[in-house]
Amino acid sequence: MCRLAAYLGPAIALEQIVVAPTHSLLEQSQHASEAKLAVNGDGFGFAWYDQAQEPGLYRDVLPAWSDGNLPSLCRMIRSRLFLAHVRASTAGETSRVNCHPFSHQSWSFMHNGQVPDIQRIRRRLEAMLPDDLYALRRGTTNSELIFLLLLTSGLSEDPASAVNKVLDILIDQSRYGAGKDAVRLTCVFSDGQAIYAFRHASDDREPTLYLQAGEGGAWTLASEPLDGDVARWDCIEPDVLVRLEPGRCSEVKLSTWSSVASPGSRQEAVA
């Protein structure tokens, strides 16, 4: 499990999300309160946009709290749209190529969750990638793979459709009806114009994701409220693809996989 945050609105310094708040992402890297693991010390990263189409990317394997460069970069870099992530790997070596966010062309992507039996189904999922996206694979995380599958499924043309397709694939491949472990995904991604986010879990225990509107049409997303005050944030509903633009929040109900869920079984996850 990991912790993540994202911002869209009038340009601000990254530190206003990552460092400064009472329960900032940096604080959540050491003292997460709504995750299975309180510590997210297996690397961190952020992607940010300015005028250029392609985002900047900074990732390192150190815990966010012990990287001496992070406070300086977050103080100096101002951005109108950025994603930030602190990682808690469940297994395997910590490596920069396994740190979030991942990026390709104008897209950036980060993820919090689990795909059961990923080692068993990884090969089949990778086989679905076209050659050019296959060649981009750098690490071994399920997260990078989900991102490449989204790109494969037409993320640039129709994000909701791409998400539906990839959820179908993951659910089908991990056969969550049979296995004991659930598919749980909270994904946040951007093309530099809008931020997209969704939560899904096969067992109704989606990783949390909160939304807050700010001044100037700004939006902030975070795994846990940055001010520690749940009352001032909205929960992102499960199985809805949220699209955030300056001053505007639109939603698309995710649907293709809905037939496999038992009717009436879906409830708001306890955050």
Q: Does the annotation count 74 as an active-site position?
A: no
Q: Which of 134, 158, 193, 248 binds a copy of itself (CB under 8 A)?
A: 134
Residues 26-55 vs a copy of itself: string with x where CB under 8 A? ----x-------xx-xxx----x-x-x---
Helix 142-152 to helix 159-174 angle, to the nearest 10 degrees?
A: 130
Helix 118-127 to helix 142-152 angle, to the nearest 10 degrees?
A: 30
Phi-psi region of 153 (alpha: psi -120 to 50; beta: other; left: phi over 0): alpha
Nearer to a copy of itself, 114 or 202 (CB): 114
Nearer to a copy of itself, 137 or 266 (CB): 137
Q: Which of 33, 34, 75, 168 binds a copy of itself (CB under 8 A)?
A: 75
User: If binding is defined by CB under 8 A, does position 20 make contact with a copy of itself?
Assistant: no
User: If binding is defined by CB under 8 A, does position 232 make contact with a copy of itself?
Assistant: no
* Among the residue ranges 71-79, 146-154, 239-247, 260-268, the one whose residues contact a copy of itself (CB under 8 A): 71-79
* CB proximity list for 177: less than 8 A, separation 6 or greater: 260
Task: Give just the sign of the alpha carbon dihedral 112, 117, 119, 122.
Answer: negative
User: If binding is defined by CB under 8 A, does position 76 make contact with a copy of itself?
Assistant: yes
Name which of 10, 79, 58, 25 is nearest 210 in CA terms: 25
Size of the site for a copy of itself (CB under 8 A): 43
**For residues 14 and 84, is the Cβ–Cβ distance under 8 A?**
yes
Cα–Cα dist 197/187, whole Å: 6
Cα–Cα dist 104/83, whole Å: 14
Name which of 264, 259, 266, 269 is nearest 171 in CA terms: 259
User: If binding is defined by CB under 8 A, does position 56 make contact with a copy of itself?
Assistant: yes
Nearer to a copy of itself, 140 or 212 (CB): 140
Q: Which of 4, 6, 44, 58 binds a copy of itself (CB under 8 A)?
A: 58
* Among the residue ranges 59-67, 155-163, 222-230, 261-269, the one whose residues contact a copy of itself (CB under 8 A): 59-67
Residue 251: other Cβ atoms inside 10 A: 13
Exactly one of 2, 74, 99, 187 is catalytic; which is it? 2
- Footprint of a copy of itself (CB under 8 A): 30, 38-39, 41-43, 48, 50, 52, 56-63, 65-69, 72-73, 75-77, 89, 93-97, 119, 122-123, 131, 134-135, 137-140
